[in-house]
Amino acid sequence: MMIIKDESMKKVLLVGYIGGLNVGDEAIGAAVAQQIQSDSTEIYIATGQPDVSEQYLGKSYHYLKCTYPGRPITTKDFFILVATIRKMDRIIFVGGGILQDVHSAKLMEHCTLIAAIAKYYKIPSLATGIGFGPIRSDYGHTLGHRFLDSVQRINYRDIESLNASNNAYGEYSYKCDLGSDSIYLINSQLTKHEAKKTGRVGLAFRQWKGLHIDFLAEMIEKLLNDGVTPVFFAYESDDLILYRQLLELFPDKIELSDERCFSKTLESIKGLEGLISMRLHANLFAIMSNIPFVALSYDPKINNVIGRLGYQDAILTLDNSAEDVLVKLKGFSPSTIASDKLNNAFKLNELNISEFMSADHSQFEFKRRGKTLGHCINLFYDAFIIVRLQKFALFIGRYTSKLFPSKFKEYIRSKLKFNW
């Protein structure tokens, strides 16, 4: 891919958990892309699976193969990635739970690598709508330090994330501010509905410890007995496993929402009389559409983000019964402060991004670039070299594992961050 820089165009690279078949993360990428799209802006999107992201986000943007999520990047694609970052005018990390290692450190590796390369080439970068924590490992803490050192500005989506970041990385508090979730940038695109009976209730669930199929089955049975059609929202591919299990129990009784592209995601919330969801962004779509909902909290982000909008009373836990959830949904009360808070959140996001895009960053001092180059090399090893060593270890381990003493194998596993 040959990149010719048009000086009349401002080139912007958007980075996040994009290409991982997660509707919420793809949607915040779309929200930021739509916000900055103009005749003078050329948008590139870093994605682990360019074909998947192009289908969901559309053909208006350039798609750049990156290190995560998806298959390991090739040597050619890695050099294209570096060359493209070097040509950018701005980098925006679009939001989501970037700074955490509770699921995996891979997303932190991916974002920190791009942030470090951008810093080395003196390209301004903004992280907006970011969720922080938990970060449990020493390696994760190191990645967080490198990421915060590399970006110019970071706006957290909730006060808890901001406080946790300042407690863990106090030396960077001067560049950290309270923002809001990037998805609020689409607030004006969603039709506000009056509460009405449509005979359809959305269910957005993910596989999670503490979620039992019996709980879902009881809920669906009660909905069906009330003459309501359950509509299952699959926001990740693994969610379809739950959907198929439920279909076996209730053949032809459950609809599946259409999430093939961003416009379909916005449309899929329409026509519901209510939503029961573990998914943060499904709940936020319901809030922005004035649709009654119950949020089932499995992660502090649910309480932090949704509670901030005045909907703490709409949050239950997975310990509640199906009856508790349905009673809560029927008794749903709209928040009297949500509308103002949504408008304020939209304006705050709009202002933060607008200021970053229009500011003159030529005087910004990019310190410790020599150290940043070392970080880039280390991250290149983690994101590029180590996955190939893991593949090789897996191959030879099938034939030679019994030849090695256990201490040697433990040493290899620790070095490769990999279990044979």
Domain over 10-186+345-383 is classified CATH 2.20.25.650? no
Query: For the purposes of burial, counting CB atoms within 10 Å of the CB of 363, is it exposed (0-12), middle (13-18) or buried (19 or more)?
Result: exposed
Query: What's the pLDDT tens digit per position in 356-410?
Result: 998 887 666 666 665 677 777 777 777 667 777 777 777 777 777 777 777 777 7
- DSSP SS3 for 226: coil
> What gap in Å lies between CA 243 and CA 134, rounded to an integer?
29
pTM of the model: 0.86
Strands (E), 140-292: 153-156, 176-178, 200-204, 229-232, 255-256, 274-277
Instruction: Please state the rounded mean pLDDT for residues 6-26.
Output: 88
Query: What's the pLDDT tens digit per position in 203-224?
Result: 999 999 889 999 999 999 999 9
Q: Which residue has the higher pLDDT, 383 or 44?
A: 44
* Mean of pLDDT over the chain: 88
Q: Which fold has domain 196-333?
A: Rossmann fold (3.40.50)
> What gap in Å lies between CA 98 and CA 384, rounded to an integer?
19
Q: What share of the chain in percent tops pLDDT 70?
A: 92
Q: What are phi and psi of 47, to 5 degrees?
A: -145, 145
Can you give the pLDDT at residue 394?
A: 74
- How does DSSP assign 57-79, residue by residue? H-SSSEEEE-SSSSSPPPHHHHH
| pLDDT over 90 (residue 81) | yes
Query: What's the pLDDT tens digit per position in 149-187?
Result: 999 999 999 999 999 999 999 999 999 999 999 999 988
Can you give the pLDDT at residue 271?
A: 83
pLDDT tier at 2, thresholds 50, 70, 90: very low
| pLDDT over 60 (residue 4) | no
Residues of the chain with CATH 3.40.50.2000: 10-186+345-383, 196-333
Instruction: Please state the rounded mean pLDDT for residues 36-48.
Output: 94
Q: Say if residues 299 and 307 touch (Cβ distance below 8 Å).
A: no
Q: Smallest Cα–Cα separation from 47: which of 61, 31, 65?
A: 65
> What gap in Å lies between CA 157 and CA 130, rounded to an integer?
5
- DSSP SS3 for 16: coil
DSSP state of 358: H
Query: What's the pLDDT tens digit per position in 100-139?
Result: 998 788 899 999 999 999 998 999 999 999 999 899 999 8
